Amino acid sequence: MHEPQSITVNDDVRMIPAWSIVAACLAFVLVEYYFWLILPAQHHHPPAALGLRIYFNLSWGILAALYFLMMGYVSKDAPRRGMSTRFWLLICFVMPGGIGAVLYFLLRMPEVSLCPACGTHVQSEFHFCPQCNYQLTASCGNCFRTVRATDQYCTRCGHELASDQTPARLRVLDR
Ligand SMILES: [Zn+2]
Ligand SMILES: [Zn+2]
């Protein structure tokens, strides 16, 4: 569907859906509107220095915008990790001051993808599919740690990788 390169380049941008960008812009405008026009009309004490007001008003606006961008990101990121989107959006929405977002990043699961052979959900650190033994990433045939496909020898144990070029699923069939 997409080329691998365009996924890595645009990955972070595409992770934020359009609705959350619109919501973030709206939130920013509303917060600025409130702080510049509504709030000064309600309070009759002399206003603070202009520089300070600009600083605080912009900070609140940016915070409000970030809040919605964060929710957008979570709504896209949670399904990739097999986590409940509704639950985590609620946590991010309810917890004040972005604590929900911090919790999300602390507790989020590894990314989940589909096995190309059988379609089982597999986590990014899996070397083999748990259902069909398909080799998902290049790994050393001796110590089974991840290796780069171009490496000649395992960086951990020195095993010659050329001797196990055949993926494990095919080696089983050879016997
Ligand atoms: Zn599989
Ligand atoms: Zn090794």
b/e for 14-25, b at 16 or more Cβ within 10 A? Answer: eebeeebeebbe
> 142 alpha carbon to ligand 2 midpoint, in Å?
5
Q: What is the domain partition of the chain in residue ranges?
A: 4-109, 111-175
Per-residue pLDDT tens for 16-49? 899 999 999 999 999 999 988 888 777 766 667 8
Per-residue pLDDT tens for 68-110? 999 999 999 998 888 899 999 999 888 877 788 899 999 988 8
Instruction: Write out the residues surrounding ion ligand 1, Cβ under 5 A.
Output: 115, 117-118, 120, 129, 131-132, 134
pTM of the model as a whole: 0.64
> 55 alpha carbon to ligand 1 midpoint, in Å?
54
